Amino acid sequence: GAVVSQHPSWVICKSGTSVKIECRSLDFQATTMFWYRQFPKQSLMLMATSNEGSKATYEQGVEKDKFLINHASLTLSTLTVTSAHPEDSSFYICGPLMGGAGNTEAFFGQGTRLTVV
Amino acid sequence: AQSVSQHNHHVILSEAASLELGCNYSYGGTVNLFWYVQYPGQHLQLLLKYFSGDPLVKGIKGFEAEFIKSKFSFNLRKPSVQWSDTAEYFCAVRGAGNMLTFGGGTRLMVKP
């Protein structure tokens, strides 16, 4: 299967600081990247969808100025949580979509557990 | 818009009991269906998937699921659970837009 690397796997930051999460597709090109968030004891919720070289599309209720997504290349996308607050503490997961593929398995990064103190 | 509903939020079973977790989705077009498992402290792992063909799909660790198109269902089954199956299980649907929509998850606890 395809290899997806998400970094860091966990991070603790102070309230008001920014955190950058990287997601790399190591052996395929991801034309589309999905970013999900999972709060404790809840399901994964789609935050945003980005296509390489384009602005991301955010789901309702997700602040685009707070969660900055960059998808500058086919193998790397980043999610930056700006001015993080404790309520942003969550598990963030990237899901790159293999380019040119029809029915394919969905791939995920290992996830990043963010704790804002 | 597509949506996924998992009926059981918490399930507690004894070892060797049979398992069936319900999953219903709402979407009018062609769908891809997935079941993922998330063990405590770990990331999502794919159990099985359905794209087309035989509606009864077999996955890893003895799990299987049946796609019943008329019922918009994709229930997960295992004939005999083990303590190591304790985890959270997520059903997911991929329809329009290629993104996955997840169900709320079912937390399974297997008593030894």
Give the mean pLDDT per block of 10 residues along chain A (117 residues): 86 97 89 89 88 88 94 91 96 82 70 94
Tell me which chain B residues have a C-beta less than 8 angstroms from the C-beta of A93: 43-44
First to last CA, chain B: 41
- Locate tokens 């993922």: which residue? B36
Contact A16, A83 (CB under 8 A): yes
For residue range B37-90, list pLDDT tens digits in order. Answer: 988 877 788 899 999 899 999 999 999 999 999 999 999 999 999 999 999 999
pLDDT at B57: 96
Give contacts of A 36-55 with B, CB under 8 A.
36, 42-46, 49
Tell me which chain A residues have a C-beta less than 8 angstroms from the C-beta of B51: 103
pLDDT at B76: 98
pLDDT at A100: 58
Bridging pattern class, strands A10-13 and A76-81: unpaired
Tell me which chain A residues have a C-beta less than 8 angstroms from the C-beta of B43: 93, 108-111
pLDDT at A90: 94
Task: Report the residue count for chain A.
Answer: 117
pLDDT at A101: 52
